[in-house]
Chains A and B, each alone.
Chain A
Amino acid sequence: MTENEFDKLWQQAEAEGYGQRLVAEYPGWRRKQRRTIGMVTASLAVAVLLVLVLVAQMHQPQNFEKVYCNRVGTTDAQWASLAAEILTE
């Protein structure tokens, strides 16, 4: 059964009042439901992440945009500070 056929059957079953029975008896429904929930969750996570990044950038008056580093242990702000300090040493 294709997804389109299933959708038609689902609409028909709902119209006839058999929706719950179909949910219980058709295993593909669960897969479809899980996939939908997964996609919605992922979309929400990305949206929240983007909002957090934007808010963080708006609230930090930084003197740099982005820092790449080959080691851990020094913060981005410390690197930017070093860039400023050796200019005026």
Chain B
Amino acid sequence: MKRLLIFLILLLPIAAMAQSELYKHYASRKNLAVAQVNGFKLNDAVRVDVVLVVADNEAAWNQLKVELDIRGDEGVNSWLGELKQPAKRTRWNGKTVLRVIASHARRTVGFYRLNTEEQYDALLDYQLEKMKK
């Protein structure tokens, strides 16, 4: 039984390692509900990791908007952000980037981690396919 406990305790740091820096950055903050969805399926062959940040109230949302330089009050803002600085707009350059989508109505920001061109293309295809329906 002692060995089982030691085994389970050893698993804890492994679980913590699976959480991204982005998740950890927001998860400890008040007024924000944060989730990391690992392996979100875009199609049969491609998955991405997603961090979702939901502001509890208008004040928390406004703070997020300032931090991420989100302008406007309606619809959705979308851009490619740098991995370490999601607020910094960038272009696809073959390196890991974040597709950031901010929904004003839901007071939610989604960070889709794109490591490969395949993921980048699959995300665009997913959006197009779903919007057609």
Contacts and interface: CB of A to CB of B under 8 A. Distances in A.
A82 B38 contact: no
Contacts of B1: 38, 41-42
Dominant SS at the B interface?
strand
Listed residue (A42, A64, A86) with the most chain B CB atoms within 10 angstroms of its CB: A86
A46 B4 contact: yes
Interface residues of B, number: 37
A88 B18 contact: no
Given A64-B39, A65-B47, A86-B110, A71 B33 contact: yes
A85 B19 CA distance: 22
Interface string A58-86: 00001111111111001010011011101
B124 to A, nearest CB: 10
Interface residues of A, number: 27
Interface in A14-55: 38-39, 41-42, 45-46
Interface of B: 1, 3-4, 7, 18-19, 23, 26-28, 32-41, 47, 50, 52, 54, 76, 101, 103, 105-106, 108, 110, 112, 123, 126-127, 130-131
Interface of A: 38-39, 41-42, 45-46, 62-71, 74, 76, 79-80, 82-84, 86-89
**Ranked 7 nearest A-B pairs via Cβ:** A65-B39, A70-B27, A88-B130, A63-B41, A42-B4, A79-B35, A69-B35
